A = this chain, B = another copy of it.
């Protein structure tokens, strides 16, 4: 085999083999050359592209976002403003998600702390989820 096998690419990029095939199927990764026997044969540029995808996924970008970012990267035009805007929008989403989670964390933490793990009735965790306010519970 001349190029990289899909398994080799999976190792080098840190992306699951099945996921690579999935990315190819949905058009996120280009169709690679094939060996005579039909096995996929990748090049170095595929490692870079796939690593880009992996990093962006780790940062929580959707595959649609990633597609747009990669198109910008290749377009060459004046991508920076657009890339910045995609990232900024994504940043906002992440920030609001963090805020949401922080609120959940506080409720949960308070709830878990109140629950002594003994009392059968009036379990604070269940009280909260039942919509009984903590004040009612005692």
Residues of A within 8 A of B (CB): 48, 51-52, 55-56, 58-60, 69, 72-73, 76-81, 83-84, 86-88, 90-91, 94-95, 97-98, 101-102, 104-105, 107-109, 111-112, 115-120, 123-126, 128-131
Complex CA distance for A102 and B72, rounded to whole angstroms = 26
Partner of A52, one of B60, B83, B131: B131
A30 to chain B, nearest CB (A): 17
Smallest distance from the beta carbon of A43 to chain B beta carbons, Å? 16
Residues from chain B with Cβ under 8 Å of A91 in the complex: 105, 108-109, 112
User: A128: shortest Cβ distance to chain B, in Å?
Assistant: 8
- Chain B residues lying within 8 Å of A124, measured Cβ to Cβ, are 80
**Nearest CB of B to A51, in Å:** 6
- Give the complex CA separation of A55 and B80 in angstroms: 41
| B129 & A84 in contact (Cβ 8 Å cutoff) | no
